[in-house]
Every structure is written in structure tokens, then in C-alpha cells.
Amino acid sequence: MYRYDAIDQGIVDARVDEYKDQVARRLAGEISEDDFKPLRLMNGIYLQLHAYMIRVAIPYGTLSSAQMRMLGHIARKYDRDYGHFTTRQNIQYNWIKLEETPALLADLASVEMHAFQTSGNCIRNISSDQFAGAAADEVADPRPYAELLRQWSTLHPEFSFLPRKFKIAVIASDTDRAAMRLHDIGLQLVKNDAGELGFKVYVGGGMGRTPIIGPLIREWLPMDDYLSYMEAILRVYNRYGRRDNIYKARIKILVSELGAEEFTRQTEEEFAHLKPLGLDAPKAEFERIIAQFPDPDLDASAPDTLDLSNEDFAAWVRQNTHPHKTPGHIIVTISLKPVGGIPGDASSAQIDLIADLAERHGGDEIRVTHTQNLVLPHVRKDALFGLWQTLKGAGLASANLDLASDIIACPGMDYCTLANARSIPVAQEIAKKLAPKELELGQMRIRVSGCINGCGHHHAGHIGILGVDKKGEESYQLLLGGSGAEDTSLAKILGPGFDEDGIVKAVEKVVAHYLVVREGPSERFLDTYRRLGAQTFKEAVYG
Amino acid sequence: MPYVLTGNRLETGDVLWWDGADWSLHIRDAAILEKPDAEALVAKFLPAERISDLVPVEVTLTEAAPRPTTTRERVRAIGPSVRPDFARPSLNVSEI
């Protein structure tokens, strides 16, 4: 994986020193809260309901074992012994003291990590496919291209004060594991007939208040034009994106109001102006970065079979592993969704254990998924049973990937100042109710957000739940039919909202009805919904 | 309706409640105020900028402690409903 060079490290170290001084001056009363707040936010530090929260960037969701151990250390030293993995492949800590944040950031910098651009109207952490570099179905490892974007966008002076935040995802296979078309820019790495790598470019997708699926604006973007074209898109957005209304400031609104064709025309015009300026990375720089993502040194002659005589192990293998491109190896997803647990939370002991396992079994790498789980990307099949036993002993072997209890939930009103309702208790209750029959239900992606901003990806849920405020009390809307995968669709509200108990019962009714009307066990809930439409489910829920 | 005054300590982010003489971590210690008095205190404390997000909170009076009328403020007073091990002792988690 990518290692910082002297420039990267210098930037991060300088930022820590600068921030340390800013905090000292704020605590001494030398700068006002109004002046200080944007400075701390630029370092990923928010004031939430109970304490400060820090959001640590995990570029394209990839961590080394050493970085993972540092995340465990931070949980122990600065927080309450746990962290929360997010839908942006980052980690958040909920109980941070402002006076300790300079030391925390210095600790992060010591393992080539930071927290800037995890807040504010800038280009946020680039997300990617958690199986990058291991997936049997990718055309190339997308991470070097995400890394180049990270370097280009880090402290980019022109794009540090955009109309609104900006999120980019890069994938490299037809299977979308990163909700790519629900990003401000979605990039799919593809090969042309000549075997050259380039991109399909989607712009103006997003969830939140105005969910939109990003339209394709470029069928083929040659690699040589990559950064110029990104710069052109951002320039058009920076120039014409609305700054008068926060709810209409994302690029999706601009693309939607202009129309994809006109937005594309303006982007191409800007690109024609930019291209001759030589902004694109020279071939040597591409090669330098690509060389830092080598295929791990895996033994392709390792035994390619698994003994599945243990039923629990077999169930976990079926649900939580994926094919690896190297024979004798397998990709393992570690569920952070124990039934009744808090989606995405991991204790420092669990974080440390996963770091150790990655060192022994995972090519020294861990991936964070946008569904709040973790991945060991390069596990030998002949080590899998032992690995599973260790995970089981630590409460990390839930065999529920993509099943009803594998629920995305934002922190909601248990932690977040923006939330209107709690998400986690609703997710916990639904998981408890549905877990006993989740194998029968098959793939069922449930997503819970505590407010319209949609950090819980409710619009991308087969079943989505949105918490809203109803005169100071929590209320929940039920949405059906969304997908963040390659068959991207947006979930639609089914009808009037419910209280906390009511929403759980409503989901149970939807699920019970699905079991009655599906054409068979192989028809996913989403496919049944798409075949039959909302009305039949509406009748089942509302009578 | 009765009010209490809350904010977050600048250095730590801790949720605090004004007890009439100082700031307490526990809502059970909170001074019961009329809204204009709570607003006057906000105006008094604001310039020093040692307490962030100062705001009067509407409550009902219970035997154990003032109980905020909104779920949000009950969560702030008690702690995350999903981590009862972190709960402040003034009100039971079930009060959320």
C-alpha cells in the first residue's frame, strides 16, 4: 500500500504543529470560537451531543496493521475504548477532549494518517472498493488512481472552499461495492478494446435531501487526461454551484438544473482549456504510485479447497467470504454487526486483534467497507478455519454479510447534533427480530439514517428508514426499493411515518409479505419489490 | 414552562448544566429558571466563550431531576441510549 514520501509527511506534520498552536490560542482565549471552529473542523473535529468527535480519514478504506493498531491505541488513550467505522470508510471517535486533540493528531501522523478534509466544503476522503487488489472481477487495482486523487485534492487551494462538500468514489469492476453512482463523482476504471485503462465518469449523484443517481458524462476518459478532467469538473462546479442555499449547493443540483448534456458541454470546454496546461501526472508519477500497490506475495500453489464439515464455519464461509484472484486464497469480511450490537463499533481489543490477524493472514492490510464492516483481503484458504475460530472467540464471526441483520446505521441522535431521531436502537431491534429468519430472507440490505442528510444511506436500502422530528419526538419514515450496487436505484417512501415501535413492526410486515409474494427463495426482496411495485407492500403495512 | 441552562465545556466538550453558582455534569443539579432568566444567563456567559453551544432547555420537573421535554436533550442529559454503561445518574436511560 502507499507509503508517505517526505512531502506527504511534511504536510501532515506541519498541519499538526499549526493545529497545536491554534488549540493553545483558543484555550488561552486569544482567538474566538467563531474563528476557531472552522479551524478545528478542517482537522475533522466536531462538537457533538456529548463531547468532541474526531473523524479520521482512511484513504480508500485501506489500513496497514500498524495503522489499525494506532486506531486501537487512540480508542484506549483518548476515547472510551472503542471507535465507530463509518459509511465513508472512515473511523470516528465520540468522546474526545479538545485539549487532547493535538496529541491525538500527532499520534495519527506517526503512522501516516490524519483527519483533515473529513469535514468542510472540500473534497472528502476518496472511497473505493473494499476488495480492491484482491477481487477476481476487477480490471485493475483502483487504489493507485484513488491515491493520485488524494494527493491532487489534499489542501488543493482552489477547491478548499467549494459550494458544498464533495465526495468521489473509484471502482474497477462491474460489480459496484462502493455505491459509486451515488457520489458527486463516480469513476469506474475500464479497459478499452486496445487493453488500455481509462474511466467511465459519472457526475452529480448523491443521497441526502435530494437523492439523485449520477448520470454518465464520459463513456471513456483516457488515463492521460484523468486529473485535467477532474479539475475541469470541479472548476465548473466551483464557478456555478449555488452558494445561496445550502440545500441546493451540491453538484447534483447543478447537474440536474443544467441537465447532464449542458454540464458535460461546459466541462469539456473547461477541459479543453485546462489540458494544455500540463496538470496531468507524468507517466513516471503514475508508475511510482502504482508500484506501491503491488500484488501481495501470495502462493498461488496453496491448497485451493476448504473443509466445510463444521456447519457454523461453512455458514460463515458462504456468507462472509468472496473469491480471490489468486488460487488458494479468499477475501474475508469481518462483520461488525453482531445481532443487537451497534453497527460499525469495534472495541480497542477487537481492533488490535484484527491488526494482528491482518499481519498474520491478510497481507498486512485491512479494508473498511462503506457498509461498516472490515475486510481481510488476502487470506490463505488453509488458514481460514483457524482465523474463523479466533474471530469467533472475539465476537467477530457473525455470518450475516448482506443479510437482514447487516444493517447500516448512522450514529443518529445518540451522538450526532444534526440527527432528528435515533438510528442505532431501531437497527438493533430490527436485527433482533429478523436475525432468526435472515437466511430464509436472503440478501436484504437495510439502511437507517437519523436525519435527511442520509449518512445511513437510507435511499440506497432495499429497506430504508429515515428518522425525522415530529414536534420534538422521533418519527420514522419507511422507504423501499433502493440499491447502492450496480443496479442503483433510489428507495421511495411507502406512506405515513411511525414511532420507534411502529417502524419495527412495519418492517416485520414488509418482510412477512415478501415471503408470501416472492416467486421463490432465489428472488431477492429488491427484485420482488421491483416486480410488484409499492402498492402491495403498502397494503400489507397500512391495511 | 420551567427551563434549565446547558452547554458544553470548551476544553473537554462535556455536557454541563448551570446549577445557580457553577456548572455541573448532572442535570439533577440544574437550577430551575424562567425562560427570560435562562436567556439572560446565556447573554452573560457568551462573551467569555468558555462554554460552547449555550442554550436554555425546556424541562418538566420530576422527583429525580428536571426532565427535558425533547428526546435530543434527554439524550444529552443521560448519554447515548445504546450505551447505558456511560449513563449519567440523574435520570434512568429508560427516560429517553
* A415 in the same domain as A388: no
The Cα A164–Cα A242 span in angstroms is 9
Query: How does DSSP assign B47-85, residue by residue?
Result: GG--EEEEEEEEEEE-SSSEEESSHHHHHHHH--TT-GG
Cell of A86: 463509518
| Chain B residues lying within 8 Å of A425, measured CB to CB | 81-82
* A249 in the same domain as A322: no
* A449 in the same domain as A418: yes
What mean pLDDT, rounded, does chain A reach?
97
* A371 in the same domain as A244: no
Cα distance from N-terminal residue to C-terminal residue, chain B:
19
Q: Rounded to 10 degrees, what is the CA torsion of A20, A23, A29, A35?
A: 120
- pTM, entire model: 0.97
pLDDT at res. A205 = 98
The Cα B68–Cα B71 span in angstroms is 7
Residue A414 lies inside a defined structural domain of this protein: yes
Task: Answer whether residue A295 shows pLDDT above 90.
Answer: no
Residue A301 lies inside a defined structural domain of this protein: no
pLDDT at res. A502 = 98
* A347 in the same domain as A451: no
Nearest by CB to residue B11, choosing from A33, A97, A428, is A97
Whether B11 sits inside 8 A of A415 (CB atoms) is: no
- For the segment A109-121, the average pLDDT, to the nearest whole number, is 96
The Cα B7–Cα A198 span in angstroms is 52
- For the segment A19-42, the average pLDDT, to the nearest whole number, is 97
- Region of poorest pLDDT, from A52-56, A104-108, A304-308, A471-475: A471-475
CATH number at residue A239: 3.30.413.10
Angle at A337 between CA B92 and CA A403, to 5 degrees: 125
Of all residues in chain B, what percent carry a pLDDT higher than 70? 100
Residue A122 lies inside a defined structural domain of this protein: no
Per the structure, how many domains does chain A have? 4
Residue A312 pLDDT level (bands cut at 50, 70, 90): very high
Task: Answer whether residue A43 shows pLDDT above 90.
Answer: yes
The Cα A82–Cα A4 span in angstroms is 27
Residue A305 lies inside a defined structural domain of this protein: no
- For the segment A43-70, the average pLDDT, to the nearest whole number, is 97
Residue A123 lies inside a defined structural domain of this protein: no
**Number of residues written out for chain A:** 543
Cell of A390: 479466533
* A173 in the same domain as A98: no
* A372 in the same domain as A425: no
* Among candidate residues A393, A426, A453, the one where a domain is terminated: A393
| Chain A residues lying within 8 Å of B12, measured CB to CB | 51-52, 97-99
Rg (CA), chain B: 13
The predicted-structure confidence for A269-291, as pLDDT tens digits, reads as follows: 999 999 999 999 999 999 999 99
The Cα A365–Cα A362 span in angstroms is 6
The Cα B50–Cα B7 span in angstroms is 10
- Beta strands (DSSP E) in A408-513 are 408-409, 446-449, 463-470, 473-480, 492-493
Residue A296 pLDDT level (bands cut at 50, 70, 90): confident
Task: Answer whether residue A256 shows pLDDT above 90.
Answer: yes
pLDDT at res. A376 = 98
pLDDT at res. A472 = 80
pLDDT at res. B92 = 92
Task: Answer whether residue A362 shows pLDDT above 80.
Answer: no
* A167 in the same domain as A283: yes
Residue A35 lies inside a defined structural domain of this protein: yes
**Number of residues written out for chain B:** 96
Range of the domain at A95: 6-109
Nearest to A304 by CA among A375, A384, A377: A384
Residue in chain A lying closest to B78 (CA): A50
Task: Answer whether residue A49 shows pLDDT above 80.
Answer: yes
Query: How does DSSP assign A296-351, residue by residue?
Result: P---TTS-------SHHHHHHHHHHEEEBSSTTEEEEEEP---TTS-TTEEEHHHH
Nearest by CB to residue A97, choosing from B13, B70, B81, is B13
Residue A363 pLDDT level (bands cut at 50, 70, 90): confident
pLDDT at res. A473 = 87
Could you report the average pLDDT of every consecutive run of 10 residues in chain B (96 residues)?
97 98 98 98 96 97 96 96 95 92
Residue A134 lies inside a defined structural domain of this protein: no
In chain B, which residues touch A (CB < 8 A)?
8, 10-15, 48-49, 52-53, 69-72, 75-76, 79-83, 86
Task: Answer whether residue A199 shows pLDDT above 80.
Answer: yes
CATH number at residue A339: 3.30.70
Predicted ipTM beyond 0.90: yes
Residue A340 lies inside a defined structural domain of this protein: yes
* A167 in the same domain as A235: yes
pLDDT at res. A132 = 97
Residue in chain A lying closest to B83 (CA): A414
Instruction: Identify the three-state secondary structure at position A180.
Output: helix
Of all residues in chain A, what percent carry a pLDDT higher than 90? 98
8 A C-beta contact, residue B31 and residue A119: no
Grid cell 461488525 in the structure block, residue = A336
* A97 in the same domain as A71: yes
Task: Answer whether residue A77 shows pLDDT above 90.
Answer: yes
The Cα A314–Cα A297 span in angstroms is 27
* A360 in the same domain as A268: no
The Cα A161–Cα A173 span in angstroms is 32
* A523 in the same domain as A414: yes
